[in-house]
Amino acid sequence: MHRKEESGETGVPWRPRIVAFFCNWCTYTAADLAGVSRMKYAPNTRIIRVMCSGRIDPQFVLDAFTEGADGVLIGGCHPGDCHYSEGNYKALRRYHLLRRVLTGMGIDERRFRLEWISASEGDKVKQVINEMVEQLQQLGPLDLPTERMRLDSELEEMRPRRSVIDISEELKEAAHV
Amino acid sequence: MSEKPKIGLYWCASCGGCEESVVDLAEDILGVVEAVDIVFWPVAMDFKRADVEAMEDGSITATLINGAVRTSEQEEMVRLLRRKSAVVIAYGSCAHLGGIPGLANQFDREQILRYVYEEAPTVSNEAGTRPSTEHRFNGDRATLPSFHHAVRALDQVIDVDYYIPGCAPTPKLLKQAVEALLTGALPPKGSVIAPDIALCEECPRKDSKPEDLHIERFHRPHAVMADPDTCLLAQGIVCMGPATRGGCEALCIKGNMPCTGCFGPTSRVRDQGAKILSSVAASIDAEEEADIIATLETIPDPIGTFYRYGLPGSFLRKSLSQSS
Amino acid sequence: MKGNGEIRIGFYICHCGSNIAGVIDVERVAEYAGTLPGVVVSRDYKYMCSDPGQDLLRQDIAEHRLNRIVVASCSPLLHEQTFRRAAEAGGINPYFVQMVNIREHGTWVHDDAEYMTGKAMDLARAAALRVYAHQPLERKQVPIKPDVLVVGGGIAGIHAALTMADAGKHVYLVEREPTIGGHMAQFDKTFPTLDCAACILTPKMTAVRAHPNITLWTWSEVEKVDGFIGNYTVTVKRKARYVDEDLCVGCMECIEACVYKRGKFDDEFNVGLSKRKPVYIPFPQAVPPVPVIDAGNCLHLSKGKCKDTCVEICGDRKAINFEIEPEYQEIEVGAVVLATGFQPFDATRIPYYGYGKYPNVYTALELERLVNASGPTGGTVRLPDGRTPERVAIVHCVGSRDEHYNRWCSRVCCMYSLKLAHLVKEKTGAEVFNFYIDMRAPGKSMEEFYNRVSTEGVHLVRGRVADVYAEQTDEKKTNGQIGRVVIQAEDTLIGRIRKIPVDMLILSTGLQPQHDSEDIRRMFNISCSAGGFFLERHPKLAPVNTFTDGIFLAGTCQGPKDIPDTVAQAGAAASEALALIDRGVFELEPNTAYVLEEECSGCKSCIPLCPYTAIAFEEEKKKAEINEALCKGCGTCVASCPSGSIRQHLFEDEEIYREIHGLLAYA
* Distance of alpha carbon C415 from alpha carbon B312, whole angstroms: 70
Domain count, chain A: 1
Q: Is the pLDDT of residue C448 over 50?
A: yes
Residue of A nearest to B146 (CA): A154
Fold of B6-100+149-183: Rossmann fold (3.40.50)
> Are B323 and A106 contacting, i.e. CB atoms less than 8 angstroms apart?
yes
Task: Determine, yes or no, domain membership for A8.
Answer: no
Task: Report angle CA C119, C120, C126 to the nearest 5 degrees.
Answer: 90
Task: Determine, yes or no, domain membership for A166.
Answer: no
Q: Kindly report, residue by residue over C239-296, the tens digit of the pLDDT.
A: 999 999 999 999 999 999 999 999 999 999 999 999 999 999 999 999 999 999 999 9
pLDDT in the model for residue A81: 78
What's the CATH code of the domain at A124?
Answer: 3.40.50.960
> Are A22 and A48 contacting, i.e. CB atoms less than 8 angstroms apart?
yes
Task: Determine, yes or no, domain membership for A169.
Answer: no
Q: Which chains are adjacent to chain A, needing at least 3 Cβ pairs under 8 Å?
A: B, C
pLDDT in the model for residue A39: 95
Domains located in chain C, CATH noted: 9-139 (3.40.50), 253-317 (no CATH), 342-512 (3.50.50.60), 593-648 (3.30.70.20)
* Distance of alpha carbon A59 from alpha carbon C425, whole angstroms: 70
Q: How far is B136 from chain C (nearest CA, A)?
A: 45
User: C654: which chain A residues are within 8 Å (Cβ-Cβ)?
Assistant: 165
Q: How much is the mean pLDDT over chain C?
A: 94
Q: Is the pLDDT of residue A5 over 80?
A: no
Q: Do B278 and C636 touch (CB under 8 A)?
A: no
Residues 544-563 of C with CB under 8 A from A: 547
Q: Is the pLDDT of residue A148 over 60?
A: yes
Q: Do C609 and B276 touch (CB under 8 A)?
A: no
pLDDT in the model for residue C154: 98
Asked if C123 reaches chain A (Cβ–Cβ under 8 Å), the answer is: yes
* Distance of alpha carbon B99 from alpha carbon B97, whole angstroms: 6
Residues 153-172 of B with CB under 8 A from A: 155-158
Q: Do A6 and C121 touch (CB under 8 A)?
A: yes
Q: Do A66 and B156 touch (CB under 8 A)?
A: no
User: C599: which chain B residues are within 8 Å (Cβ-Cβ)?
Assistant: 196-197, 266, 268
Q: Is the pLDDT of residue B254 over 50?
A: yes
pLDDT in the model for residue A175: 54
Average pLDDT estimate for B20-42: 87
pLDDT in the model for residue A174: 59
Average pLDDT estimate for B93-119: 95
Identify which of C178, C228, C175 has the alpha carbon closest to the alpha carbon of residue C336.
C228
Q: How far is C576 from chain B (nearest CA, A)?
A: 35
User: B160: which chain A residues are within 8 Å (Cβ-Cβ)?
Assistant: none
pLDDT in the model for residue C521: 87
Judged on CB neighbours under 10 Å (0-12, 13-18, 19+), C475 is: exposed
Residue of B nearest to A161 (CA): B156
Mutate to test the interface with C, among A37, A166, A170 (most CBs of C within 10 A): A170
> Are A64 and A73 contacting, i.e. CB atoms less than 8 angstroms apart?
no
Average pLDDT estimate for C334-347: 97
Q: How far is A19 from chain B (nearest CA, A)?
A: 16
Q: Which chains are adjacent to chain B, needing at least 3 Cβ pairs under 8 Å?
A: A, C
Q: Is the pLDDT of residue B42 over 60?
A: yes
3-class secondary structure, B311: coil
Q: Which chains are adjacent to chain C, needing at least 3 Cβ pairs under 8 Å?
A: A, B
Q: Is the dihedral of CA B208, B209, B210, B211 positive or negative?
A: negative
pLDDT in the model for residue B277: 98
Q: Kindly report, residue by residue over C184-205, the tens digit of the pLDDT.
A: 999 999 999 999 999 999 999 9
Task: Determine, yes or no, domain membership for A9.
Answer: no
Q: Do A47 and C105 touch (CB under 8 A)?
A: yes
Average pLDDT estimate for B103-127: 94
Q: Is the pLDDT of residue B176 over 70?
A: yes
Q: What is the ipTM of this complex?
A: 0.95
pLDDT in the model for residue C228: 83
pTM: 0.77
Q: Do A108 and B323 touch (CB under 8 A)?
A: yes
Asked if C513 reaches chain A (Cβ–Cβ under 8 Å), the answer is: no
| DSSP, res A77 | P
Q: Kindly report, residue by residue over B185-244, the tens digit of the pLDDT.
A: 889 999 999 999 999 999 999 999 999 999 999 999 999 999 999 999 999 999 999 999
**Cβ neighbours of residue C293 under 8 Å, at least 6 residues apart?**
C241, C242, C243, C278, C279, C301, C320, C322
Average pLDDT estimate for C208-230: 94
User: A142: which chain B residues are within 8 Å (Cβ-Cβ)?
Assistant: 324
Under the banding of pLDDT at 50, 70 and 90, the label for residue A168 is low
pLDDT in the model for residue B25: 84
User: B211: which chain C residues are within 8 Å (Cβ-Cβ)?
Assistant: 604, 607-608, 617
Q: Is the pLDDT of residue B32 over 90?
A: no
**Distance of alpha carbon C164 from the chain centroid:** 19
Residue of C nearest to A175 (CA): C35
Task: Determine, yes or no, domain membership for A162.
Answer: no
Under the banding of pLDDT at 50, 70 and 90, the label for residue C2 is very low
- Domain interval for residue A127: 16-141
pLDDT in the model for residue C541: 80
Q: How far is A65 from chain B (nearest CA, A)?
A: 8
Q: Is the pLDDT of residue C171 over 70?
A: yes
Under the banding of pLDDT at 50, 70 and 90, the label for residue C622 is very high
Q: Is the pLDDT of residue C378 over 70?
A: yes
Q: Is C333 left (phi over 0), alpha (psi -120 to 50) or beta?
A: beta
Identify which of C69, C8, C13 has the alpha carbon closest to the alpha carbon of residue C38.
C8
Query: What's B121-176 look like in SS3?
Result: CCCCCCCCCCCCCEEEECCEEEECCCEEEEEECHHHCCCCCEEECCCCCCHHHHHH
Average pLDDT estimate for C655-667: 87
Task: Determine, yes or no, domain membership for A161.
Answer: no
Q: Kindly report, residue by residue over C299-327, the tens digit of the pLDDT.
A: 999 999 999 999 999 999 999 999 999 99
Domain boundaries, chain B: 6-100+149-183, 106-147, 199-306
Q: How far is A85 from chain C (nearest CA, A)?
A: 6
Q: Do C644 and B283 touch (CB under 8 A)?
A: no
Percent of all residues in chain C with a pLDDT value above 90, rounded to a whole number: 89
Task: Determine, yes or no, domain membership for A159.
Answer: no
Residue of A nearest to B318 (CA): A105
Q: Do C122 and A56 touch (CB under 8 A)?
A: no
Q: Tally C-beta pairs within 8 A across B and C.
A: 83
Phi, psi of C465 (to 5 degrees): -75, 125
pLDDT in the model for residue B1: 46
Q: Do A97 and B150 touch (CB under 8 A)?
A: no
pLDDT in the model for residue A3: 42
Under the banding of pLDDT at 50, 70 and 90, the label for residue C620 is very high
Q: Do A59 and B303 touch (CB under 8 A)?
A: no
Residue type, C645: S
Query: Which residues does residue B192 pair with via DSSP β-bridges, in sequence order?
Result: B163
* Distance of alpha carbon C170 from alpha carbon C215, whole angstroms: 8
Q: How much is the mean pLDDT over chain B?
A: 94
pLDDT in the model for residue B79: 98
User: How many CB atoms are closer than 10 A to CB B30?
Assistant: 10
Q: Is the pLDDT of residue B2 over 70?
A: no
* Distance of alpha carbon B270 from alpha carbon C312, whole angstroms: 77
User: How many CB atoms are closer than 10 A to CB A127?
Assistant: 16
Q: Is the dihedral of CA C158, C164, C165, C167 positive or negative?
A: positive
Asked if B313 reaches chain A (Cβ–Cβ under 8 Å), the answer is: yes
User: B196: which chain C residues are within 8 Å (Cβ-Cβ)?
Assistant: 599
Q: Do B278 and A65 touch (CB under 8 A)?
A: no
Identify which of C44, C43, C48, C37 has the alpha carbon closest to the alpha carbon of residue C8.
C37
Identify which of B227, B281, B284 has the alpha carbon closest to the alpha carbon of residue B253.
B227
Percent of all residues in chain A with a pLDDT value above 70, rounded to a whole number: 86
Task: Determine, yes or no, domain membership for A66.
Answer: yes
Q: Tally C-beta pairs within 8 A across A and B.
A: 120
pLDDT in the model for residue C3: 47
Asked if A164 reaches chain B (Cβ–Cβ under 8 Å), the answer is: yes
Residue type, C197: A
